[in-house]
A and B are shown apart, each in its own frame.
Chain A
Amino acid sequence: AQTVTQSQPEMSVQEAETVTLSCTYDTSESDYYLFWYKQPPSRQMILVIRQEAYKQQNATENRFSVNFQKAAKSFSLKISDSQLGDAAMYFCAYRSGTQGGSEKLVFGKGTKLTVNP
């Protein structure tokens, strides 16, 4: 069974600085997707960024980028130029990419990010 581990329950960053959130996962599959979701106090789940395992290039979305290390099964999220609106819970998630594979999106326990003005 796949597992996702976020080893940092809480992180803080100064406004305009850069912060990296860690995520490791365990799987025996070769075709899968990795995601970072943001959950602000409104509790809405917002997709921040996603990475296909078959792509070697790290995904980027504006100020958000990932460091995908497939061999190490590591998928960290870097937030550059942090803004007050980035404060939220961040969840790392895994999903099988195999047709007919597990429909389950496996989540980590989350990292609470605080942005200090």
Chain B
Amino acid sequence: NAGVTQTPKFRILKIGQSMTLQCTQDMNHNYMYWYRQDPGMGLKLIYYSVGAGITDKGEVPNGYNVSRSTTEDFPLRLELAAPSQTSVYFCASRTRVRSPLHFGNGTRLTVT
């Protein structure tokens, strides 16, 4: 059981470039989330999804887009990368409202 898998683990982008962070889970979880963790800080919610075809903004959605075409996958798209998006990105999922989150191992993104 792989759990929540994120790719890539590391990435360096130039300002203005675009990329997609991949997240997939094999636990048939309905709820999926993207968080970012800035140095010395806790996690902040970027976007979340409560099921295939449904997405909603979190606390810090600007500069990002998501899609949820399947239950398993929840990619995060960065358009026109900026230095402020340098962070560690975590994908997470859970099965229902009262269940705990399962986290992926994170993607460290640097924008220079």
Chain A residues in the interface with B (C-beta under 8 A) = 4, 33, 35, 42-47, 50, 91, 93, 97, 99, 103-110
Contacts and interface: CB of A to CB of B under 8 A. Distances in A.
Interface residues of B, number: 25
A35 B100 contact: yes
15 contacts: A33-B98, A43-B105, A45-B101, A93-B42, A103-B45, A103-B58, A105-B35, A105-B43, A105-B101, A107-B41, A107-B42, A108-B42, A109-B40, A109-B41, A110-B41
Contacts, number: 55
Interface string B64-80: 00000000000000000
Contacts of B56: 103
Contacts of A93: 42-43
Interface of B: 31, 33, 35, 40-45, 48, 50, 56, 58-59, 88, 90, 92, 97-98, 100-101, 103, 105-106, 108
Contacts of B100: 35, 47, 50
A114 to B, nearest CB: 16
Contacts of A104: 45, 58-59
Given A42-B105, A44-B106, A99 B97 contact: yes
Nearest to A52: B98
